[in-house]
Amino acid sequence: MRLDKNNSEYSKLAKLFHWGFVLLFIYGVAKQVEDINQLEDTTFFRFEIIFALIFIFLLIIRVIYMKTTQKTSIPEDTPRAQKISAKIVHNSMYILLFCTALSGLVIGFLFWLEYKNSFLINIVIWLHEIIINLLYCFVGIHILAAIYHRLKKDGVWSSMVPFMKEKKY
């Protein structure tokens, strides 16, 4: 496929949301809570709560903005199964990002209620870890799909990625 078959370009705000969330995600992974006892530090605990609430707020704004103003850059002649797969991956990432922050807030709430070593908090921590691992899988699929589109040169890569732009034929 040639690049000129796809004229869709995401807005600057859509790109800012996308790459901003990449940075937020990397930051979240880098600073993740390794041991629940870290939440004993009031300043750290407060920061974690505020970070999660801001993350959820920005995620909701992003989803609303993307769903109401942006059109997919996948070419119209893309097979239906591939279009459905792309929707599943994108929507799953949104849901998993939301559930990661939400489950983290639930852990914080249970910790605050002094359920620090309870069966309940251990279940929520276990769910939180499953959600994060699923998110890693979907992010990996998303990256592989982006590379696939870059190799295919159908314009999908260049519609969102600010580097290694495809040449127009």
Residue-wise pLDDT for 63-118, tens only, equals 999 999 988 888 888 899 999 999 999 999 999 999 999 999 999 999 999 999 89
**155: pLDDT strictly greater than 90:** no
**1: pLDDT strictly greater than 50:** no
Q: What is the structure's pLDDT at 156? A: 85
The percentage of residues in the chain with a pLDDT greater than 70, rounded to a whole number, is 92
Beta-carbon contacts of residue 159 (< 8 Å; ≥ 6 apart) = 6, 8, 9, 10, 73
Dump pLDDT digits (tens) for 27-44. Answer: 988 988 888 889 999 999
Q: What is the structure's pLDDT at 5? A: 44
Query: Smallest Cα–Cα separation from 104: which of 159, 15, 36?
Result: 36
Q: What separation in angstroms does the CA of 153 have from each of 1, 19, 80, 142, 161?
A: 7, 21, 19, 16, 13
Dump pLDDT digits (tens) for 7-24. Answer: 467 888 998 999 999 999
- Rounded CA gap, 140 and 29, in Å? 14
Q: What is the structure's pLDDT at 167? A: 66
Dump pLDDT digits (tens) for 123-144. Answer: 999 999 999 999 999 999 999 9
Q: What is the structure's pLDDT at 168? A: 58
Q: What is the structure's pLDDT at 34? A: 84
Q: What is the structure's pLDDT at 157? A: 83
